[in-house]
Structures are given as structure tokens and as C-alpha cells.
Amino acid sequence: MHEDIQEVLFSEEEIAARVAEIGAQITNDYADAVAQDGRGVILISVLRGAAIFMADLARQIELPLEMDYMAVSSYGNGAKSSGVVRILKDLSSEIEGRHVIVAEDILDSGLTLKYLMKNLASRKPASIEVATLLRKKTLQQAKIDCRYIGFECPDQFIVGYGLDFAERYRNLPYIGILKPEVY
């Protein structure tokens, strides 16, 4: 797998340090709200890519929290978003009146996340924010307000730390650019 990587963008150590910073920021930002309602926040992972990020992030948040998962697809096995969003697995938890943080692996076109945010907002949470590990620099990206951003990254095909190409490379401990000849 490593030989398919053109360049490592973010090392395992850099990712761990940034996730810890985001966790501390979330802890600080939500401490008063959690003290008032006592229920904590709900982290929602967009499966499968964000599962590793959310697990690491959850361990860095020093507040009561719940974790839930959604599976949303707009890629299939291709390298570009298809633009068609499907919910493959919905939440198990009720989010009405709750503070929700969506843990996303990468904000690329933004089409999937825009759809997801609209869907979740219709369920009337107290608040809803996005924590994305990566945000690509693209001109055609949908306008998405991300309160927590791990790293800005180039508009390249990125894999590792949960991100995949055709379900491969998720288990790499770093984030790298996949060689074009691979996809």
C-alpha cells in the first residue's frame, strides 16, 4: 500500500496533535452548554471514512458525549463525487434539542455534507456544527460552515486515516496523496 502513495501530507504524529487540539476546543466550546443541560454532545460519524477520526476525537473531548453513525454515499467506487446522495444507514439516536457535532473525514465537493446538514437540521437539534479532518481547496466546493477544521489540503486524491479509494488504504496511519496511476 505504501508504494501507492505519491507523498505523505500529514504524519501520524501531526494528525494526533491536531485531533487533540480540536478535542480541547470542543471541550471548551461546549462546557457551559453541557453544564446547563447535563446531556452532553452527540458526535455523528459519517461512515466509513470518518470513523477513525471520530474515535480519536471522542477520546480527546473531556465532556459527556454520545456517538452515533450514519452511512451516506455519493462516490461509489469512483474518484469523483457522483452528486447523488443516499442515506444507507440512519441515526439510532434522537437529536432534537441536542448539541450535534458531525465528524467528517474530508470536505471535498461539499455535496454530501450539504445534504446531510440540511437533513439533520430538519430534526431540530439545539445546535449543529461540523468537525472535518480535512478541507480541500477547490473552487466549486459547496458553501459549508465548518467550525472545526483539522487541515487544509490540496485538491488531490487523498487516502489514509480512514479515507479510501475503492475501500482500500483506510488503515494507513498517515494521510497521503494517491499516485494517479493507481486510480
For the chain, the domain total comes to 1
Task: Let me know if residue 99 belongs to a domain.
Answer: yes
CATH number of the structural domain spanning residue 100: 3.40.50.2020
Task: Let me know if residue 165 belongs to a domain.
Answer: no
Q: Which residues are catalytic?
A: 108
β-pairing, 65-73 vs 86-89, is antiparallel
Task: Let me know if residue 166 belongs to a domain.
Answer: no
Q: What is the pLDDT of residues 150-166, one digit of tens each?
A: 999 999 999 999 999 99
Task: Let me know if residue 97 belongs to a domain.
Answer: yes
Task: Let me know if residue 110 belongs to a domain.
Answer: yes
What pLDDT is attached to residue 2? 94
Give residue 84's Cα distance to chain centre: 19
Among 98, 91, 96, 104, residue whose Cα is nearest residue 148: 104
pTM for this model (two decimals): 0.89
pLDDT-flagged residues of the chain (< 70): 75-83
Can you tell me the distance from the alpha carbon of 119 to that of 11, in angstroms, rounded to the nearest whole number?
Answer: 34
Upstream peptide bond of 48 is cis (omega within 30 degrees of 0): yes
Name the residue type at position 120: L
What pLDDT is attached to residue 80? 56
SS3 162: coil
Task: Let me know if residue 162 belongs to a domain.
Answer: no
What pLDDT is attached to residue 76? 52
Asked whether 116 and 46 are in contact (CB, 8 A), the reply is yes
Cell numbers 470542543 correspond to 26
Task: Let me know if residue 79 belongs to a domain.
Answer: yes
Task: Let me know if residue 161 belongs to a domain.
Answer: no
What pLDDT is attached to residue 111? 83
Domain residue limits at 56: 13-156
Angle at 118 between CA 59 and CA 144, to 5 degrees: 70
